[in-house]
Amino acid sequence: MDSKKRIAVFGLAGLLLVAALVGVGQQVAAPQSTTHSTPSAVDQALTFFETVSNYLGQGLVYVLNLILGNRVSSALEKPLGYMAFITLLLVFFGLIEFARKVIWIGVIIGWVLLVVRIVLDALKV
């Protein structure tokens, strides 16, 4: 695959990932239906992303609380989980150089903001 096709494929995958992560936080009332419908592939993928992120966040908060003596708020589970999931995806897929630089900037900014939040939570009495 030439570089233009790779950029298009990874760009589309990135857009789908961003759309999935943005859509996870949206709460929409379920349609009132008398028939039972099966979840779509998109719903199952979003559920998978959310579940993995929740488990990663719970694990990271648990480890941080072991280190910091239960000073990290459980409200950080979701953002820590999503940042860890995105970081794992970045490492797993090993994106092309341009996309890797752009994503690393976002990941670094995210981790810096989370560390600042953790420090502020830890300093809170």
Instruction: List, for residues 3-44, the tens digit of each pLDDT value.
Output: 666 665 666 565 555 445 444 454 545 555 556 678 899 999
Cα angle for residues 30, 25, 75 (degrees, 5° grid): 125
Rounded distance between C-alpha atoms, residue 36 and residue 95, angstroms: 40
Tell me what pLDDT residue 101 has: 80
Min mean pLDDT across 4-18, 68-82, 92-106 is at: 4-18
Query: Per mean pLDDT, which range of 5-14, 19-28, 63-72, 86-95 is the poorest?
Result: 19-28
* Whole-number pLDDT of residue 22: 47
Task: Tell which phi-psi region holds residue 105, choosing left (phi > 0), alpha (psi between -120 and 50) or beta.
Answer: alpha
Return all residues near 96 (Cβ < 8 A) that are at least 6 apart: 3, 6, 7, 10
Which residue has 């908060």 as its token pair?
61
Structure tokens at 102: 């752009």
Comparing 99 with 81, the larger pLDDT belongs to 81
Average pLDDT over residues 63-79: 91
The percent of residues in the chain predicted with pLDDT above 90, rounded, is 41
